Structure 1
Amino acid sequence: MKSLLLLYNSMFPKSRRLRKHRQKFPFERRDAMSSKIQELSPHELRYHCDEAQFDFESTENLLSLEGMIGQERALRSIDFGVSIQSPGFNIYAMGPTGSGKTSVVIEQLQERAKQLPTPDDWCYVQNFSEPHKPK
């Protein structure tokens, strides 16, 4: 790995690498953008919500929401992935920590499992000719 890094550094000296990035973001452009920056007062830095628009005292009075809001395409993709019954297919859910992606996938898997017969138990045996495919 060190030899590759040395080769890269010798082929592209630091001054040349920096020059390449400078051309993407010319200095003159940054000056033009900075003229649009305006100073804000402390009051403008914060969003103020009018509490009179709500008809509840506390969010504890509200019903909890089911499912994932605004993620219809993701839910359809999970449903599609769960419906594939061929070996070698997986579901990969990506998103910020705490967004509920794992909970939604587990919930959909449990709903699908209720509709299917209980599967038989499995016992894996080492496959010496193809270790990545146990028997």
Structure 2
Amino acid sequence: MDFDFNGVDNPIGVGLRAGYSQISGWGLEAEYIDSLVGGETEVLGKAVDVDMYSLAGYVTYRSLGEIYIKGRLGLLYEDVSVGSESSDDFGISAGAGIGFVLGANSNIELEYTVLEKDVGLWSGAFTYRF
């Protein structure tokens, strides 16, 4: 997770993604992301933890080919905690990435997703289709 705020040690996230895609390239994804290792910042001279989790649903499109580009746009619910304070919000999320087909049923992807105006996420994924 990449918080665009001064003085924030970003949390490290982990997630789970499930989806469905058609041969045309269009698809749907659901994603859950949570802080695996919390970040840290300073509030009034005291170090406090920074954590975040999100739930999102996306419409996706990927180009055809062994190497492809992928875009996604969706709705997101997020909850950010800084110390004992917490704030949640709904919003629009968008991302783009590149993927590589490994075999008939598998591929890997590298993406950047904007979760909100000041929070982004670099992610890597291994996908297996069955």
Which has the larger share of helix?
Answer: 1
> Quick check: which one's strand share is greater?
2
TM-score (norm 2): 0.20
Give the TM-score normalised by the residue count of structure 1. Answer: 0.19
Whichever of the two has the greater Rg, that structure is 1
